[in-house]
Structure 1
Amino acid sequence: MNSSEHFREYGYVKISDFLSQEIISLTRKYMDLSLFSGHMVISDNSVIAGQPEQYAAMLSESLLLFFQPNIESVVGYALLPTYSFWRIYEHGAVLREHVDRDSCEISVSVTIAAEPRNTDWRLWVRGIDRKNKSLSLRPGDCVIYLGNKVPHWRNKFKGGVQYQMFLHYIRQDNNQNPLAYDGRNTCALALFKRSIEK
């Protein structure tokens, strides 16, 4: 079963080595700079509170557009970008079971870094077959999933830190879809903070 077939059957698919080592290194450095320069905020939503995150950073928005064709080739239909964000999870974090809002019809969760290096903080998903599955994502791996339909969660984080990036899209039904760019005029406009909750 190839990636597209797995996505259609289960509503999610893991892609190994989605990012090159160069992009992993660049993204990690950019996230560190965002954190140290005060561009990240502490999440306050009920799904995952108390973790540093940033909505629509210039680099993550660029990657949102850059990887759009790759994601389209997996899901099998044209997409419109909505938004990107990234988060640094710290020891003890718990990602509660949830589905995302409708701007996250197609979601991509990409592991950027984890410390210690052997950390394996599994992402749990409940596919459209209603079966729970745990996914091990090394730095550079990603999972593409139906964000507003497939419940997903992580148990308590026992590692030190984990850097995660999220890219979100919707089906390209028409260019007037109000969810396109997450209600912004275009990408890279971080004029407001959105919740990942539905």
Structure 2
Amino acid sequence: MSRTDADGALTAGDQTSAGAAYEAAGHAVVRGLVDPALVDHLVAYADVLRGRGSFEIDDQVPGSLRTYGAAGFDALLPTLATRLSDRVGRTLLPTYSFARIYARGQELFPHRDRVECEHSVTLHLAGADDAPWPIWLRDGDADPVGIDLAPGDGLLYRGDRVLHWRDPLDAEWYLQVFLHFVDADGPYADRAYDGRAGLGTSSSLHTGAEQLGRP
């Protein structure tokens, strides 16, 4: 189990260990990444966005609803960057957020993301019931791994490297948000903010996905 300082950050030794484990596996689960009060706020924020028509039909998951770079979701990027950098073992720069509402029967096909999603988090916010709906990962030739998330849990993964997908949803709806970052010292550092003037500003939408065949 990793040790933390008084403010909840990983100690220096555990940052190194956590970063090595993340790099080797291609992913790390961060339980309780967002506390319940903030989860409730984000769910209410999504309801407001949907009510004002800020969600649009998605083409990567046909029929689902998505919103790119909404200010309230983008604000999570700098808020969580330090904690996630500790887990990765390197400094992360935010690129963009992307929230999606799935409906029954919809699925996320296997894909890898564009380089602006070098380090990504899928954060579970809410669903129609408590039934698990795992996100599946496969890094290289390793066996697929299914990860179940509770509201507020985050799955940190190498979005541009690890194949990831979800099977058809067996519930009425499911709300989650992706948070995307690049390595501040890596080859994609110039992709911070996804080419925008700043967080919470508009851009032409990218799905971020290279669709690949299911393993």
Rg comparison, structure with higher value: 2
TM-superposed CA distance for 1:144, in Å, is 0.2
Of 22, 29, 32, which residue of structure 2 is paired with 1:7? 22
Asked if structure 1 preserves the Cα contact closer than 8 Å seen for 2:19 and 2:90, the reply is no
Q: Which runs of 5+ in 2 are unaligned?
A: 3-17, 211-215
Distance of 1:127 and 1:44 partners within structure 2: 25
Structure-2 residue corresponding to 1:31: 46
TM-superposed CA distance for 1:108, in Å, is 0.4
TM-superposed CA distance for 1:35, in Å, is 0.8
Asked if structure 2 preserves the Cα contact closer than 8 Å seen for 1:10 and 1:129, the reply is no
Is residue 168 of structure 1 aligned with residue 180 of structure 2? yes
Asked if structure 2 preserves the Cα contact closer than 8 Å seen for 1:82 and 1:179, the reply is yes
Deviations 1:142-174 (A, max 9, x none): 100000000000011001111101100001127
Structure-2 residue corresponding to 1:62: 75
Distance of 1:119 and 1:165 partners within structure 2: 18
Distance of 2:144 and 2:187 partners within structure 1: 35
TM-score (norm. length: structure 2):
0.85
Structure-2 residue corresponding to 1:100: 113
What pairs with 1:16-95 in structure 2 (closer than 5 Å)? 16-45=31-60, 48-95=61-108
Equivalent position amino acid for 1:11 in 2: G
Asked if structure 2 preserves the Cα contact closer than 8 Å seen for 1:10 and 1:128, the reply is no
Structure-1 residue corresponding to 2:160: 148
Secondary structure of the equivalent of 1:44?
A: coil
TM-superposed CA distance for 1:5, in Å, is 4.1
CA RMSD of aligned residues (A): 1.8
Deviations 1:115-157 (A, max 9, x none): 11x2211100013562210001111111000000000000110
TM-superposed CA distance for 1:191, in Å, is 3.1
Moved more, 103-112 or 129-138: 129-138
TM-score (norm. length: structure 1):
0.93
Q: Which runs of 5+ in 1 are unaligned?
A: none
The number of aligned residues is 195
Distance of 1:191 and 1:35 partners within structure 2: 19
